[in-house]
Amino acid sequence: MSNSIFGWLTIILRRDLLIAFRRSATYITPLIFFLIVVTFFPLALGPQESLLSSLAPGVIWIATLLASLLAVESIFSEDFRDGTLDNFFISLEPSFVLVFAKVLIHWLITGLPIMAASIIAAIVLYLPFDSFLPILLSLILGTSFMSLLGALGAALSLGKSAILSAIIVLPFSIPTLLMGTSVITSSINSQDYFGFLMIMGAMLAIGIPLLCLLTVEALLLNYD
C-alpha cells in the first residue's frame, strides 16, 4: 500500500518538476521578485546601516510572503484548465497525496530559491553573520507553511482572480510573519529563538494534515 502511495507521489513530483524546469520563469520569477522588493526598502528609506539592519527581519519576511504568494495561483490553475486535475481525481489514487505533492513542488520552486536569495538580502541589509542560520531555519518552516496556505487559497479561488487568493491567504499568514521576524530579531539580540521555531514547527505539523485535507475538499468543490 505504502509502496503505491510513494510511487504515486514520485510520479506527480517528477512530472511537475519537469514542467517547472522546462519553463525557467516558474522558479526565476519569485526569486527576482523577492530581490526587487528587498531592493526597494533601501531606496525608499535611505541607506543608513543601523536603520536597515534593524528593519531587515521584517523586510525579508514581507518580501518572502509576497514572493511566495506570487506563484500561488499557478499551483492548480494550469492542471485545472487542461483537465489534468480531473484525471488525477478519477484515477482512484488518494487525492491527499496529489495535494501534498503540489505543495512540495510549490515549495521547491518558490521557497527554496527564496531561501538562497535571503542570504544575499541579509548581507546587503547589513545583518550579522550569526543570524544567517536562524534566517534559514525560520524560512524553511515558514515558507513550507506558506505553501500549504497558498495551496488552500489557490484551491478556493480556482478560476477566479489572483487577487482573491491573496486576500484569502494574507490574513492567515500573519502568525508566520510574526514568528519568523521574532526568530531573526531575537537571534540578532542574541536571545533564545528556539521557542519561536518550535511554534512554527507545531504550526507546520498541524498544517500538513489539516490544510492538505481541506485543500482536497476545496478542490472537490469544482467537481460536484
Partner 1 sequence: MTRIWKILKQWFIEMGSPPLFYNWSSKIIPWLGITTLVLLSLGIYWGLFVSPIDYKQGDVYRILYIHVPSAILGESIFIFMAICGFINVIWRAKISGMMLKAAAPIGMSFTLLVLVTGSVWGKPTWGTWWVWDARLTSTLILFFIYAALIGLHSTIEDKTKADRAVSILSIVGVAIIPVIKKSVDWWQTLHQPSTFTITSSPSMSPEMYLPLLICLLGFYMFFAFSLTLNLRNEVLDRERSKAWVKQNFNS
Instruction: Choose one: 17-25, 39-47, 52-60, 208-216; the region binding partner 1 (CB under 8 A).
Output: 208-216
* Residue 152 within binding range of partner 1, rule CB under 8 A: yes
Nearer to partner 1, 112 or 204 (CB): 204
Q: Does 98 bind partner 1 (CB under 8 A)?
A: no
| Smallest separation (angstroms) from partner 1 to the CB of 86 | 17
Binding residue for partner 1, selected from 67, 117, 154, 156, defined by CB under 8 A: 156
Does position 192 bind partner 1 by CB under 8 A? no
The nearest distance, CB 3 to partner 1, in angstroms, is 31
Residue 13 CB partners (closer than 8 Å, separation 6+): 101, 104, 105
User: Is residue 212 near partner 1 by the rule CB under 8 A?
Assistant: no
The number of residues that bind partner 1 (CB under 8 A) is 20
When asked if residue 198 is in the footprint of partner 1 (CB under 8 A), the reply is no
Q: Could you say whether residue 167 binds partner 1 (CB under 8 A)?
A: yes
Among 62, 112, 124, 164, binds partner 1 (CB under 8 A): 164
Residue 210 as a binder of partner 1 (CB under 8 A): the answer is: yes
* Concatenated DSSP letters of the chain: -HHHHHHHHHHHHHHHHHHHHHSTHHHHHHHHHHHHHHHHHHHHH---HHHHHHHHHHHHHHHHHHHHHHTGGGTTHHHHHTTHHHHHHHT-S-HHHHHHHHHHHHIIIIIHHHHHHHHHHHHHTT--GGGHHHHHHHHHHHHHHHHHHHHHHHHHTTTS-HHHHHHHHHHHHHHHHHHHHHHHHHHHTT---HHHHHHHHHHHHHHHHHHHHHHHHHHHGGG-
Q: Does 205 bind partner 1 (CB under 8 A)?
A: no
Residues that bind partner 1 (CB under 8 A): 152, 156-157, 160-161, 164, 167-168, 170-172, 174-175, 210-211, 214, 217-218, 221, 224
